[in-house]
């Protein structure tokens, strides 16, 4: 088995909350609390979870757009946490990002050509002519036309704008693309176009994806393996077929059962979780999920479970599997 | 809330100290010797020297500053060179006159400004909206002295409806208790004088209120426009609530924070910025008091006048800060 | 079949902008029966939200205006009713909840003040009775600590709780029809499941008819009895949920169902509908879906198909020919 291209170990992000006006740290928000995973080249890791679970923070930390509090990010065998600011900027050429909001992430005053060219200028790639040629290639690649380069973002629909965002990410020939909710702002009929495009591009360039989303069906469709996050931690991580067909963690089970299935014949037995996700500033003791868990045991409120690898290679963080 | 108020009050101390320091520095930066001013140009060097010593002016600046500070804290604002009486007792009647005028002006500004702003926002792009906003533009751009003179010409000289000068008639002057004449006349049961005081207040108050009215109207309009577009206004309509009720109860409370900020700042400016109005209308307020002091180079009075106005400005904004919490529960005082 | 409580006939709603008249809803017909859950499904810009605002008389006006058709509530046309008449209907007979629970409640008034206002507007109750009713409503929508909640402000509640408060407010006067405009779109999946469950429960217990406006076919499949599919301001298909999911009669509905990634199986490629939704106001001849349709025929580009059928209607020549 080949070495993973990207390996994240015990990644943490803590935000101190100051109060009392004297700069005293009264509490800590554990946005991401010890996340580990690895991805092999050309594969897709999906990260799912509800809002506030830390999935977007995790994505941003891999690019060090948010500086991690603790942890290791091994990319091609090197820990990019040790890179200086300047070296990190260079390293970002290999890791690019696609954002959720295709409306907000494109500068409205720049032409599409300029937007796509920009990362190439930053990384000093080619001369002006070569770059412009590449912009045209990229536009064709994502299903737009070369003449679109002269237009402005507001002249495009949501799906087209997301294609522009993808072209911009591809401009510097990255190895890894972190996609943060790339289709959640799009209509269903357009969403499927963008998902197909991402799959095509992955095959063509042997891209590695980290696909962050809240939509479980979308994640299943695109991912080889999937990590489920709850309150800053991964509660289950496994090969995607396995996870969806036989979820282990009670939270994964509840999450899957909660999705309304677009087929009136399938009436799933919904597991309705009580209450809301607790605040990451005051996570429950022991297992963070125990207060909403339908099968919680005594130990769950006392001891925090660790992510264990089961026999079939799936990883789950739950006392049921001790 | 109580804890927050105390904390804010404590935080005012450095602000107020800085203020005294600046006032002190400005006065000392002005060329000229107070002893020379007091004794006249024919004074002997010995006389100047001994007066300097008795006034403490030969001490280093920080010693002077601390003794100045000590005086202020004990309520001693110094002695007027012009009248030779203590400023602390002299300044109050002037201050009261200014407070009374500013207060009335502010009531006009808040009432007219908020209502004009609300109507403009509610009936956006209507004739009413355009009229109100053009008037507001004129209000901000019109010089106060020009408006004051126009008022005097129109209402006092041509129409002879209202008096143009002073707080009361010379032959029927108010016997002061608090020096706030609206209160004094009522305390003495002189309704005729109360009415006279109001008649004197109208023209200067309107002149003084123009700019704040215009600013409040514009702020209210933009703030209300934003609120009226929000989802919870739609929710209120979906409940079957009346529009007028939605606008005045629901929307206004939400729109009020920026309006309150403007009201606070304008109140402060009114108290300090009444000089022009007071001069034109012969209003015996702090503005006129300082104006006269400047003409006589009465430094202690200028110094104290500026200090008192700055103090009031700071306090008004402190109160506004505390008021925010009344209108928006999301603002937490810690 | 039970009586239609709300009936929309040939409704046309347009927005008048500097670029001229833009028809957002272009002649739609549907009806809601007493106690049923009707889904209105479609993608952004199809006119589903404008339809709901037209029914409530809450169109932002100007620029929005009903330019044609009728809306019958209990047989009476309310499409051009006076504001005072609409005020009596709103919240009392027809209530509405919205997509953004975070911003739909007024941030500077307590939950109690807002909830009790909704009750008081249509009922004369003593202060004590008002409070009791408010507590009862909060319990009905499954909120714990009802009494304390009355004194709290919206920002102290989570998104799911706020949507429950919105539902409590909408249910406060036992409306005949509840219009829910994307009520769970802004919520997380597990919270969405809670809210959908609650709405089904309320529908069964109170027999309030629900118009569920959504883009999520999953929500429709799990919740609704009947569904209306909208595309570019028109109804393209209407029928029982099971008929529409099993035998869609319009290529758009079919494409929509197939474009959703499957939670229970994996296909390599998703079905797509090429192109994107036409901009509202763009001029078209023939069927509006023709430029994106994989079964397009010559006549589709020239003639506009009608919405035909008995219980399962569709606006497509292809299926009308087959039949």
B129 and B170, same domain (yes or no): yes
DSSP C2: P
Q: Name the least confident of A31-45, A162-176, B286-300, C231-245.
A: B286-300
Closest residue, chain C, to A245 (C-alpha) = C264
The average confidence (pLDDT) of chain B is 84
d(CA C244, CA C237): 8
Same domain, B122 and B66: no
Bond preceding residue C62 cis, omega within 30 of 0? yes
Residues of A in contact with B5 (CB under 8 A): none
Q: Do B241 and C121 touch (CB under 8 A)?
A: yes
Instruction: Say yes or no for a CB contact (<8 Å) between A264 and C245.
Output: yes
Domain with B220 in it: what CATH number? 1.10.3720.10
The order of strands in the sheet holding C313-314 is: C94-97, C177-181, C209-214, C37-41, C226-231, C234-240, C313-314
Instruction: List beta partners, residue C226.
Output: C38, C240
Q: What is the pLDDT of residue B20?
A: 86
Residue B64 in domain: yes
Q: What per-residue confidence (pLDDT) applies to B104?
A: 92
- Would you say residue B256 lies in a domain? yes
Q: Please spell the DSSP secondary structure of C156-205, one letter per residue.
A: GS-HHHHHHHHHHHHHTT--SEEEEESTTTTS-HHHHHHHHHHHHHHHHH
Question: Is residue C283 predicted with pLDDT exceeding 80?
Answer: no
Determine, for residues C256 and A188 on separate chains, whether the beta-carbon distance falls below 8 Å.
yes
Residues B149 and B55 in one domain: no
For A121, half-sphere exposure in the C-beta direction (CA atoms, 13 angstrom radius) is 10
> Is A241 part of the contact surface with chain C (CB cutoff 8 Å)?
yes
Domains of chain C: 4-93+175-322 (3.40.50.300), 104-174 (no CATH)
CATH code: domain A6-94+174-321 is 3.40.50.300
How far is it, in rounded angstroms, from Cα A277 to Cα A53? Answer: 9
Q: Quote the minimal CA–CA distance from A159 to chain C in Å.
A: 8
* Predicted confidence (pLDDT) per residue in C38-54, tens digit: 999 988 888 888 999 99
pLDDT digits (tens, 9 = 90+) for C200-213: 999 999 999 999 99
**Structure confidence at residue C93 (pLDDT):** 92
- Residue C87 has its nearest CB partner, among B234, B242, B327, at B242
Give the alpha-carbon dihedral of B151, B157, B162, B167, to 10 degrees.
80
- For A73-133, the DSSP string reads EEETTEEGGG--HHHHHHHTTTEEEE-S-TTTSS-TTS-HHHHHHHHHHHTT-S-HHHHHH
Find chain A residues with C-beta within 8 A of B334's C-beta. Answer: 19-21
Pick the closest to residue A8 from A95, A107, A113, A112 (CA basis). Answer: A95
Q: Across the interface, do A260 and C197 touch by the CB < 8 Å criterion?
A: no
Q: Which of A17, A18, A21 to mutate to test the interface with B (most CBs of B within 10 A)?
A: A21
Count the Cβ atoms, other than its own, within 10 Å of residue B310: 20
B112-160: pLDDT as tens digits: 999 999 999 988 888 888 988 888 888 888 888 888 888 888 888 888 8
pLDDT, tens digit, 9 for 90 and up, residues C135-175: 989 988 888 888 889 999 998 888 888 989 999 999 998 89
The residue written with tokens 């209907």 in the block is C89
Q: Tell me the two tokens of residue C277.
A: 């939704």
Cα of A42 to nearest chain C Cα, Å? 16
How many CB atoms are closer than 10 A to CB A104? 12
Query: A320 touching C, CB under 8 A?
Result: no
Q: How far apart are CA A247 and CA B209, in angstroms?
A: 70
> CA separation (Å) from B329 to A194, B235, B251, C151?
43, 20, 15, 11
* Min Cα separation C182/chain B (Å): 14
Q: What tokens does C272 get? A: 């797509």
Average pLDDT over residues B174-188: 82
A20 to B7: CB separation less than 8 angstroms, yes or no = no
Question: Contact A226/C254 with Cβ under 8 angstroms?
Answer: no
Smallest Cβ–Cβ distance between A157 and the set C218, C246, C276 belongs to C276
Would you tell me which residues 160-199 of chain C have a C-beta closer than 8 angstroms to some C-beta of chain A? 160-161, 188-194, 196-197
Give the span between the Cα atoms of C225 and C237, in whole angstroms.
14
Of C180, C176, C171, nearest to C207 (Cα)? C176
Question: What phi and psi, each to the nearest 5 degrees, are found at residue A14?
Answer: -110, 135
**Chain A, nearest residue to B333 by Cα:** A20
For residue A121, what are its two tokens? 């200028």
Structure-derived torsion over alpha carbons of residues A143, A147, A152, A153, reported in degrees to the nearest 10: 0
Chain A residues lying within 8 Å of B7, measured CB to CB: 21
Neighbouring chains to C with at least 3 Cβ pairs closer than 8 Å: A, B
B41 and B107: one domain? no
B65 lies in the same domain as B97? no
Chains touching chain B at 3 or more Cβ pairs under 8 angstroms? A, C
Written as six digits, the tokens of A103 are: 């409306």
d(CA A45, CA A196): 16
User: Cβ of B123 under 8 Å from any chain C Cβ?
Assistant: no
Among the partner-chain residues A50, A191, A264, the one whose CB lies closest to the CB of C241 is A264
Radius of gyration for chain B, computed over Cα atoms and rounded to the nearest angstrom:
24
From the CA of B227, how many Å to the nearest CA of chain C? 10
Do residues B67 and B192 share a domain?
no
Assigned token pair, A160: 């087209």
Q: Are residues B32 and B101 in the same domain?
A: no
Does any domain span residue B124? yes
Question: How big is the CA angle at C95 (ends C152 and B250), to the nearest 5 degrees?
Answer: 45
SS3 B64: helix
- What pLDDT shows up at residue C113? 92
Contact C158 A276 (CB under 8 A): yes
The set of long-range contacts for C27-31, using a CB threshold of 8 Å and a minimum separation of 24, is C27/C68, C27/C69, C27/C234, C28/C69, C28/C228, C28/C230, C28/C233, C28/C234, C28/C235, C29/C235, C29/C307, C30/C228, C30/C235, C30/C238, C31/C4, C31/C6, C31/C7
Do B107 and B66 lie in one domain? The reply is no
Q: Does C257 touch chain A (CB under 8 A)?
A: yes
DSSP 8-state class, residue C5? E
Residue B334 lies in a domain: no
Residue C257: pLDDT above 70? Answer: yes
Among A160, A187, A261, select the one facing C218 at the smallest CB separation. A261
Verify that B232 and B289 share a domain, yes or no.
yes
Q: CB–CB of C108 and B329 under 8 A? A: yes
Considering only CB atoms, B231 lies closest to which of C104, C121, C155, namely: C104
**In chain B, where does DSSP find H-type helix?**
2-29, 34-39, 45-55, 61-73, 87-122, 127-141, 144-151, 181-187, 191-228, 231-239, 243-245, 252-273, 275-280, 286-295, 299-327
List chain C residues with CB under 8 Å of B228.
Answer: none
Tokens of A285: 């003791």
Is B84 inside a domain boundary?
no
Give tens-digit pLDDT for C75-120.
888 888 888 888 889 989 999 999 888 889 999 999 999 999 999 9
Is there a contact between B325 and B331 (Cβ–Cβ < 8 Å)? yes
Q: Out of C160, C215, C272, whose CB is closest to A193?
A: C272
Q: Would you call B240 and C121 a contact, using CB atoms and an 8 Å cutoff? A: yes
Q: B18 and B64 share a domain?
A: yes
**What tokens were used for C30?**
């549907």
A-B contacts (CB, under 8 Å): 4
Answer whether residue B85 is part of any domain. no
* Min Cα–Cα distance to chain B from C16, Å: 15
Note whether B151 and B242 are same-domain residues: yes
What per-residue confidence (pLDDT) applies to B83?
81
Give the DSSP H or E segment for A191. helix A188-205
Q: Quote the minimal CA–CA distance from B13 to chain A in Å.
A: 17
CA distances from C299 to C41, C295, C303 (A): 27, 11, 6
Q: Round the average pLDDT of chain C to a whole number and report it.
A: 88
Model confidence at B301: pLDDT above 90: no
Copy the structure tokens of residue A146: 């070369």
Alpha-carbon distance A5 to nearest alpha carbon in chain B (angstroms): 46
The full length of chain A comes to 322
Q: Chain A partners of C194 at a C-beta cutoff of 8 Å?
A: 272-273
- For position B106, what pLDDT does the model report? 92
Domain hosting B53: range is 2-73
Give the residue, C150 or C269, on which the prediction is more confident: C150
- Asked if residue B141 belongs to a domain, the reply is yes
Task: Give the span between the Cα atoms of B161 and B156, in whole angstroms.
Answer: 6
End of a domain among B73, B105, B124? B73
Check B250 against C109: CB less than 8 A apart.
Answer: yes
Q: What is the pLDDT of residue C272?
A: 84
- Judged by average pLDDT, the poorest of A88-97, B236-245, C55-64, C281-290 is C281-290
pLDDT: is C130 or A26 the higher one? C130
CB burial of A198-233 (b: ≥16 within 10 Å; e: otherwise) equals: bbebbeeeebbbbbbbbbbbbbbbbbbbbbbbbbbb
pLDDT value at position C1? 46
Best residue in C104, C112, C116, C153 to probe B by mutation, most B CBs within 10 Å? C104
Touching check for C37 and chain A: CB below 8 Å?
Answer: no
Domain-embedded: residue B291: yes
Q: What is the pLDDT of residues B15-74, one digit of tens each?
A: 888 888 888 888 777 766 666 666 777 777 787 788 777 767 777 888 888 888 888 888
* C272 has a chain A CB within 8 A of its CB: yes
Does residue C279 surpass a pLDDT of 80?
Answer: no
Contacts of C104 in chain B (CB under 8 A): 231-232, 234-235
Residue A235 structure tokens: 């509660």
Do residues B103 and B229 both lie within one domain?
Answer: yes
B251 touching C (Cβ < 8 Å): no
Crossing angle of the two packed helices B286-295 and B252-273, in degrees rounded to 10: 30
**Residue ranges of domains in chain A:** 6-94+174-321
Cα C129 to chain centroid distance, Å, stands at 32
Rounded CA gap, A138 and A152, in Å?
A: 16
d(CA A72, CA A78): 10
pLDDT string in tens for chain A (322-residue length): 567 899 999 999 998 877 655 556 677 888 898 899 999 999 999 999 988 888 989 999 998 888 889 999 998 888 888 888 888 888 888 999 988 876 778 888 899 999 999 889 988 888 888 899 999 989 988 988 888 888 888 888 888 888 999 999 999 889 999 999 888 888 888 888 889 999 999 999 999 999 999 989 899 999 999 999 999 999 999 998 889 989 999 999 999 988 888 888 877 778 888 878 888 888 888 898 998 898 888 899 888 898 888 888 889 999 988 7
Nearest to A118 by CA among A149, A84, A154, A83: A149
Residue A42: which residues within 8 A CB-CB, separation 6 or more?
A202, A206, A207, A208
Bridge partner residues of C214 (DSSP): C41
Task: Determine, for residues A220 and C276 on separate chains, whether the beta-carbon distance falls below 8 Å.
Answer: no
- Cis status of the peptide bond prior to C124, with omega within 30 of 0: no
- Whether the CB-CB separation of B212 and B113 falls below 8 Å is answered with yes
What is the β-pairing status of strands A70-75 and A6-19? antiparallel
């Amino acid at each position: 088995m080949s070495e993973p291209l990207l390996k994240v170990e015990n990644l943490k992000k803590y935000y101190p909350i100051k109060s009392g006006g004297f700069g005293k740290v009264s509490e800590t928000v554990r946005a991401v609390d010890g996340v580990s995973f690895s991805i092999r080249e050309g594969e897709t890791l999906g990260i799912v979870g509800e809002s506030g679970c830390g999935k977007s923070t995790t994505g941003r930390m891999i690019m060090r757009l948010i500086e991690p509090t603790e942890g290791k990010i091994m990319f091609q065998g090197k820990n990019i946490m040790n890179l200086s600011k300047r070296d990190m900027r260079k390293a970002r050429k290999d890791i690019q990002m696609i954002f959720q909001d295709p409306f907000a992430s494109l500068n409205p005053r720049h032409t599409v050509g300029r937007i796509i060219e920009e990362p190439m200028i930053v990384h000093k790639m080619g001369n002006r002519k070569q770059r412009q040629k590449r912009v045209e290639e990229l536009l064709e690649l994502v299903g737009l036309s070369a003449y679109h380069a002269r237009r402005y973002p507001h002249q495009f629909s949501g799906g087209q704008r997301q294609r522009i965002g993808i072209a911009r990410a591809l401009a510097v020939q990255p190895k890894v693309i972190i996609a943060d909710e790339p289709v959640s702002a799009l209509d269903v009929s357009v969403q499927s176009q963008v998902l197909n495009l991402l799959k095509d591009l992955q095959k063509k360039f042997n891209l590695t994806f980290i696909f962050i989303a809240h939509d479980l069906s979308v994640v299943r469709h695109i991912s080889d393996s999937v990590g489920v996050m709850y309150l800053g931690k991964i509660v289950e991580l496994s090969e995607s077929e396995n996870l969806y067909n036989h979820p282990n963690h009670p939270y994964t089970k509840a999450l899957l059962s909660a999705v309304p299935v677009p087929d009136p014949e399938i009436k799933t037995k919904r597991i309705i979780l009580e209450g809301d996700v607790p605040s990451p500033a005051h996570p429950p003791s022991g297992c963070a999920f125990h207060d909403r868990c339908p099968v919680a045991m005594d130990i769950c409120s006392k001891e925090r479970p660790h992510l264990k690898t089961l026999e079939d290679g799936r990883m789950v963080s739950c006392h049921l599997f001790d | 809330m109580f804890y927050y108020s105390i904390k804010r009050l404590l935080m005012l101390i450095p602000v107020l100290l800085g203020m005294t320091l600046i006032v002190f520095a400005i006065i000392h930066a002005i060329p000229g010797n107070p002893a020379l001013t007091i004794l006249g140009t024919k004074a002997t060097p010995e006389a100047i020297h001994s007066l300097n010593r008795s006034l403490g002016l030969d001490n280093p600046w920080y010693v002077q500053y601390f003794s100045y500070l000590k005086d202020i804290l004990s309520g001693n604002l110094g002695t007027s060179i012009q009248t030779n009486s203590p400023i602390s007792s002299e300044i109050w009647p002037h201050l009261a006159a200014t407070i009374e005028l500013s207060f009335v002006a502010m009531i006009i500004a808040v009432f007219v400004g908020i209502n004009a702003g609300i109507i403009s926002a509610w009936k956006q792009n209507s004739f009413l909206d355009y009229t109100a906003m053009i008037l507001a533009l004129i209000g901000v751009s019109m010089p106060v002295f020009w408006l004051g003179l126009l008022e005097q010409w129109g209402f006092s000289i041509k129409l002879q409806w209202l008096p143009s000068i002073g707080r009361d008639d010379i032959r029927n002057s108010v016997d002061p208790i608090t020096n706030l004449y609206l209160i004094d006349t009522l305390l003495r049961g002189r309704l005729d004088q109360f009415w006279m005081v109001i008649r004197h207040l109208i023209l200067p108050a309107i002149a003084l209120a123009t700019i704040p009215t215009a600013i409040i109207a514009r702020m209210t309009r933009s703030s209300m426009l934003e609120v009226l577009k929000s989802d919870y206004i739609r929710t209120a309509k979906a409940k079957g609530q009346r529009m007028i009720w939605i606008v005045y109860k629901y929307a206004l409370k939400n729109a009020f924070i920026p309006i309150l900020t403007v009201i606070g700042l304008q109140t402060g400016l009114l108290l300090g910025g009444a000089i022009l109005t007071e001069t034109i209308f012969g209003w015996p307020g702090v503005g006129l008091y300082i104006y006269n002091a400047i003409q006589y180079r009465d430094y202690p009075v200028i110094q104290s006048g500026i200090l008192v106005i700055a103090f009031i400005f700071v306090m008004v904004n402190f109160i506004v800060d505390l008021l925010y919490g009344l209108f928006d529960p999301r603002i937490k005082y810690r | 079949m039970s009586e239609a409580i709300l009936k929309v006939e040939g409704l046309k709603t347009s927005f008048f902008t500097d670029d001229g008249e833009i028809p957002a809803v272009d002649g739609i017909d549907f009806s809601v029966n007493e106690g049923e859950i009707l889904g209105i499904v479609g993608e952004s810009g199809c006119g589903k939200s404008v339809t709901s605002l037209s029914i409530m008389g809450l169109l932002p006006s100007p620029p929005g205006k009903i330019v044609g058709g009728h809306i019958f509530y209990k047989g009476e046309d309310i499409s051009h009713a006076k504001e005072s008449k609409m005020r009596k209907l709103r919240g009392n007979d027809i209530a509405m909840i919205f997509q953004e629970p975070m911003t739909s409640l007024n941030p500077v008034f307590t939950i109690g003040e807002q909830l009790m206002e909704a009750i008081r507007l249509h009922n004369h109750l003593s202060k004590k009775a008002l409070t009791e009713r408010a507590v009862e409503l909060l319990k009905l929508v499954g909120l714990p600590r009802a009494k304390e909640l009355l004194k709290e402000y919206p920002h102290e509640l989570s998104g799911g709780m706020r949507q429950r408060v919105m539902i409590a407010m909408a249910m406060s006067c036992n409306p005949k029809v509840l219009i829910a405009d994307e009520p769970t779109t802004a919520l997380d999946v597990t919270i969405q499941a809670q809210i959908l469950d609650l709405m089904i429960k309320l529908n069964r217990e109170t027999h309030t008819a629900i118009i569920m406006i959504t883009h999520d076919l999953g929500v429709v499949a799990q919740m609704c009895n009947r569904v209306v599919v909208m595309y570019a301001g028109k109804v393209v298909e209407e029928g029982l949920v099971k008929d529409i999911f099993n035998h869609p009669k319009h290529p758009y509905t079919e494409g929509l169902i197939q474009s959703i990634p499957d939670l229970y199986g994996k296909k390599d490629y998703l079905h797509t509908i090429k192109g994107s939704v036409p901009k509202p106001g763009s001029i078209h001849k023939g069927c509006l879906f023709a430029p994106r349709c994989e079964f397009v025929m010559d006549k589709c580009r020239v003639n506009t198909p009608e919405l035909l059928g008995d219980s399962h209607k569709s606006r497509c020549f292809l299926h009308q020919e087959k039949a």
